[in-house]
Structure 1
């Protein structure tokens, strides 16, 4: 009986050691929305958020750019007189991470800060909380890093291949340039030889004509 209870407890702990909550809510302008979570010491809280303003022309919510919104993330320890343990300012689409230093209830507040002309507009905020132990979340991050590393390795191989092709193109260009310079050099020398021959022929013809005119007593 004891072993059965312990086994059920281990299963429940493995299931609930990491919890993902995804939801969204609607607000107006810079409304501040807070959520309460019970975190034990050493628990890692990772959050993602996305703020979408309402566009009257589109009659729907659209993606926001960095010039339209800033988002304030505050985490307080409600059990310790609302002691602020994290204050972060980010873009309309971002994420944050927090490691609980003490066990107890924590308050996570999200507040979009819009520009003046959007300050009273309607907004939709998508939120996702991932709560778990450092090791469980770090293992996910490790798999993500490994995936990114594999992609980087593939890109690195492609870059090396492009460099090899560029080197081959440079070698071909070097050979073509040398051949072109050689042809141009030969053409210049051939032109010089032609000019010299033409000059010699002209001189010989002038001398021959002078001799002919002398014999004919023209000169």
Structure 2
């Protein structure tokens, strides 16, 4: 009886824990690759993929720019005359989630969309499928991602506040420097005016002294 309970809970645990498998294939622009997968009703299929293009200069696969390449994702119900239940466009590095509405064989197709020189080169398509039977399993992962994103947002917000604080400090220092410069310039101007007045008075005094001297000497 004890071993039966252990076996039962082991089966339940395996049922709840998501199953992950991944692989990669090579494609060219416009080529369509399809994979068949047997899914039971309410099964959650999560796919995480990435695209890399071949670079002849470096002789290796590199990550393209987001606007250079994309991916069309289609999911069809083979058992229902290939009825399409999912049709979406994704970027070169993203993921998708699909919930099976009925049990049966499903066909998942991927088609690379590219333009320019990328459309003529080979593309490496890396895909990881994750199958779960409990929506809470994926929900917990989504919550973890949301928490990580929230942490990144908080860090960015803190950095923005620090930058704003530094900018305010720079503005305050600039204002103080401007006030000091205006004060110094004002003092320089007044000092120049005073020097001119003193110089003028000195000239007048010297002229009067010379005039008195010449009068005494009967020159004038």
Q: How does 1:32-47 map to 2 (within 5 A)?
A: 32-47=32-47
Alpha-carbon deviation of 1:75?
0.6
Q: Is the 8 A contact 1:39 1:105 kept in 2?
A: yes
- CA offset at residue 183 of structure 1? 1.9
Question: Is residue 30–residue 120 contact of structure 1 (8 Å, CA) maintained in 2?
Answer: no
Partner of 1:106: helix, strand, or coil? strand
The number of equivalent residue pairs is 218
2:63 corresponds in structure 1 to: 63
Please, which moves more after superposition, 107-116 or 54-63?
54-63
Q: Give distance in 2, aligned partners of 1:134 and 1:107.
A: 21
Alignment of 1:99-178 (within 5 A): 99-115=99-115, 119=119, 121-132=121-132, 133-178=134-179
- Note if 1:181 corresponds to 2:182: yes
Return the alpha-carbon distance in structure 1 between the equivalents of residues 114 and 155 of structure 2.
Answer: 41
List per-residue Cα deviations over 1:17-68 (Å, max 9, x = no partner): 3111111123444332111223333333221222333344444333333455
The match for 1:199 is 200
Q: Where do 5+ consecutive residues of structure 1 fail to align?
A: none
- C-alpha RMSD of matched pairs (Å): 2.5
Partner of 1:88: 88
1:117, 1:197 → 2: CA distance? 81
Q: Confirm or deny that 1:79 pairs with 2:79.
A: yes
Q: Unaligned 5+ residue runs, structure 2?
A: none
Deviations 1:51-97 (A, max 9, x none): 33334444433333345533211111112221111112233333222
Q: TM-score, normalised by structure 1?
A: 0.84
